[in-house]
Copies of this chain bind each other. A is one copy, B any other.
Amino acid sequence: MLVFHTALMRPPVIDNLQYAKFSPRIFEEMRAGGVDAVHVTVAYHESFREMVLNLEQWNRWFEDHPDLIFRGTCAEDVLRAQQSGRTAIFFGFQNPSPIEDDIGLVEICHQLGVRFMQLTYNNQSLLATGCYEAEDTGLTRMGREVVAEMNRVGMVVDMSHSAERSTLEAIEHSTRPIAITHANPAWWHEALRNKSDTVLRALTEAGGMLGFSIYPHHLRGGSACTLDAFCAMIGEAAQRYGARHLGLGSDLCQDQPDSVVEWMRVGRWTKRIDYGEGSAAAPGFPPMPTWFAGNRDFGVIRQGLLAQGLSEAEVDGLMGGNWHRFYAESFGPA
């Protein structure tokens, strides 16, 4: 039984997507920013065995910095993080590559702590169609099986990088609410990675969650997007979909070198360069908006949301309370 000690504790702050170049300095910034939980990406194109190497790196960080971070596997860990002044780190995949062609690896990965898995990363996968493909054929035969298995064990289906039909079919086929951990509404900023009103309504009506991205390619005006514009968009989304289905998924790639965005885009699926959301003229990571440079800046967003006239309770939910509730409903067996 999860008890929310609302009288004792400030509401949790959760960033539901980061792929920073993690380091003790960033873990300290998480504490300085009051970030209680972060969903971090542990695979883009890795095989199972390669992904395990990434988990080993996290285990080393957990061993070396137990005063700052620990592995989170359940909603209670967010409270444990608050109580002990640390940040709970939750694992997720942006691509199903670590389960290879083996449905049994879904439960193995869940046993290793993985709590989110995207069915695609831009391209067609064994499970569904990515948002960069010309044709979207929806969930594959294996995709339907894997969604059912994820539902069974308590791993969240994440469709952030998936195409429209595939996303709608995942929402429909999944027996548990799903997530779009890091994207924005296409009605605010048209982009392959942003989501249609149809998708966002279906997602939230089924109890799913949207995490707002601060990755500049997902922002109206890109790196020049203002805090006010970003928070006004959230206010509009709260009116359309209900604030309780919304949270943050900053997509923060703090300190990463540009070689990493190339790995994210190209992996090993092509020998040519693919610029993804970038271009030959601007192939690297775009500069972040001035008001959000990293983990210390979550208080700025809270202030921006309050300035939109959202209630204290709504803002508490947007800053982490909604993800916390979703964690409690999503990470255990069906």
A111 touches which one: B48, B49, B105, B111 (CB < 8 A)? B111
A59 touches which one: B60, B63, B108, B113 (CB < 8 A)? B108
Q: Does A221 contact B (CB under 8 A)?
A: no
CB-nearest residue of chain B relative to A53?
B104
CB-nearest residue of chain B relative to A52?
B108
This chain's copy number in the assembly: 2
* Cβ A59 vs Cβ B112 within 8 A: no
Contact bitstring A133-174, B, C-beta under 8 A = 1, else 0: 000000000000000000010000000000000000000000
Beta-carbon contacts under 8 Å, A270-299 to B: none
Beta-carbon contacts under 8 Å, A165-186 to B: none
Q: Which residues of B contact A102 (CB under 8 A)?
A: 56
Q: Does A55 contact B (CB under 8 A)?
A: yes
With an 8 Å Cβ cutoff, the count of chain A residues facing the other chain is 18
Q: Does A107 contact B (CB under 8 A)?
A: yes
Q: Which residues of B contact A105 (CB under 8 A)?
A: 52, 56
* Cβ B104 vs Cβ A112 within 8 A: no
Interface residues of A (CB under 8 A from B): 48-49, 52-53, 55-56, 59-60, 63, 102, 104-105, 107-108, 111-113, 152
Task: A55-B108, A59-B108, A63-B152 are known; give 15 further A-B pairs, CB within 8 A.
Answer: A48-B49, A48-B52, A49-B49, A52-B105, A52-B108, A53-B104, A56-B102, A56-B104, A56-B105, A56-B107, A56-B108, A59-B104, A108-B112, A111-B113, A112-B112
